[in-house]
Amino acid sequence: MSNRHSYLWVLLLCLSFTLIQCSSSAELSTIEVVPQASNRLASVKSQVLPPSSIQSITFSSSYKSDAPPILHLGSSDQLHLEFDELTDVSGQFRVQFKHYNKDWTPSNLPDAWIMDGFNEFIINGGTSNSLSDPKYYHYKESFNAKELDLLVSGNYMLEVYDFSTNTLLFSLPFLVTEQEGKLQSNIETVYNGVEGGAHGHQIFNSYTYPSEIEFPQFELSFTYIPRRFLGLATSTDIKNIGNNREINFHLSRQKVFDASYDFALLDLSNFAINATQIDEWIPEANPARVILKPDQLNFISGVNSEMHSRTIGPLNARNARYAEVIFRLEADALNSTDEIVVLGDFNNWTYDERLKLSYNQSSRYLEGSALIKQGTYRYKYFRVIKKGTNSYLLPINDRLSARPQIYHTVVYYRDPVKNFDRILMIGSVEANR
């Protein structure tokens, strides 16, 4: 008996025991629950984080700017990769692509199944910076979806290796979608819906699936991603099978997203003392040092919608330089036992022990530093919450009320023949408040 037939017999047997629960009005709960608080906001568990010599990584696509990189299978969409290597010698790098399941475990699909061509690309040359230390080379590469000739949709990782040693330096996640079916979305604001009294966003969806889906209650699953934060991706826990190949799904009230999520804007386009953010500029230090004006709780964040008009990321001019940027936060409103960390676009929103704030007795501020290239970035403070051997990050928001947010809905299909996760559809929905 073929694998496909065996699979169908198992499903039919399950249906015979669960006929009442699988009716059109039944609510089916998925097992997987991903916590919204994580110590990796924009990265995933299988991702390899870069060494300190690799800085200012940007990875995007021609999809929305505040979303993970997304490609439409068979289209001319592009992935854009840029990074710096802190060195005075030009390097060479090898790039390859790997397919993953929806939970970011390797799908182990062979290259011949995911790509019609040779799965290896070379990045070399680079552009050296001028004048200032530290010395670095800047690398830039784009990958066209049609030229990559990917054969299947799903979760992917772009892996960057040192060419001479074949060492995996870092990897970056992205999504490939088929855009099959029809997806509708809406958002409801849940007042006092999040721990601490903040407002929450509860997302509701209706999906009309393709005719090839025979058992949607088993073969389809759904995930929400806030902004580009793949580390905060949350699986739906309620879905209802409707008529005419329609399935409805949403998050329960216990899993709503924090609608008060906000950001502060860090303008480092010019390393000079100014009235808004930079208190001291010390160019003679090695590396040069920038001391920011102290942040105050409840007066940190800008308006999320205003940031859409700003170009977020590092400057790519040859004379763009790096500096040790010192963040300062007034400690009066915080518990003395709180562990605080600052994250931002400058480190891909990934937790790093070096970004923990410590109390400076002389300045009486909590302080933390990071090596940052000139540019414009978003950043945010988080409490580090420890539970047993695990820890997660709890955002420190200025307000409890809802702020503008964007969410991306991913529809996964577990291929019953090849036994891997495809992405049938990705849709985005914005909440102004």
Task: State residue 34's pLDDT score.
Answer: 33
Q: Which of 346, 195, 183 is nearest to 259 (CA)?
A: 195
Give yes or no: residues 271 and 294 share one domain. Answer: yes
Can you read off the two tokens belonging to residue 210?
A: 């393709």
| Peptide bond before residue 134 is cis, with ω within 30 degrees of 0 | yes
DSSP 245: S
Give yes or no: residues 252 and 157 share one domain. Answer: no
Give yes or no: residues 101 and 159 share one domain. Answer: yes
Q: Distance between alpha carbon 420 and the CA centroid of its chain, in Å?
A: 22
Domain count, the chain: 3
Give yes or no: residues 389 and 268 share one domain. Answer: yes
- 47 found inside a domain: no
Task: State residue 261's pLDDT score.
Answer: 87
Give yes or no: residues 334 and 379 share one domain. Answer: yes
Q: Which domain holds residue 34?
A: 29-39+181-260+411-431
Give yes or no: residues 283 and 369 share one domain. Answer: yes
Task: State residue 121's pLDDT score.
Answer: 96
Q: What SS3 class is residue 147?
A: helix
Give yes or no: residues 251 and 294 share one domain. Answer: no
Can you read off the two tokens belonging to residue 166?
A: 């074949």
Query: Rounded to an integer, what distance in angstroms lies between the CA atom of residue 234 and that of residue 257?
Result: 9
Task: State residue 305's pLDDT score.
Answer: 45
Residue 144 identity:
N
328 in Cβ contact with 365 (< 8 Å)? yes
Give yes or no: residues 244 and 271 share one domain. Answer: no
Q: Where are the beta strands (DSSP E) in 151-303?
A: 154-162, 168-177, 182-190, 200-208, 220-226, 234-235, 238-241, 246-250, 257-258, 264-267, 278-282, 289-292
Give yes or no: residues 363 and 384 share one domain. Answer: yes
- 153 found inside a domain: yes
Q: Which of 392, 397, 351, 390 is nearest to 258 (CA)?
A: 397
**pTM value?**
0.87
30 in Cβ contact with 337 (< 8 Å)? no
- 92 found inside a domain: yes
Residue pointed to by tokens 């068979």: 74
Is beta strand 289-292 parallel, antiparallel or unpaired with respect to 234-235? unpaired
Give yes or no: residues 231 and 196 share one domain. Answer: yes
- Which residues are registered as beta bridge partners of 292? 278
CATH of the domain at 274: 2.60.40
Residues of the chain with confidence (pLDDT) below 70: 1-39, 195, 299-310, 333, 336, 433
Q: What is the mean pLDDT of the chain?
A: 86
Give yes or no: residues 129 and 172 share one domain. Answer: yes
Give yes or no: residues 309 and 285 share one domain. Answer: yes
DSSP 149-189: TB-S-EEEEEEEEETTT--EEEEEEEEEE---SEEEEEEEE
Task: State residue 126's pLDDT score.
Answer: 95
- 159 found inside a domain: yes
CATH of the domain at 127: 2.60.40.1930
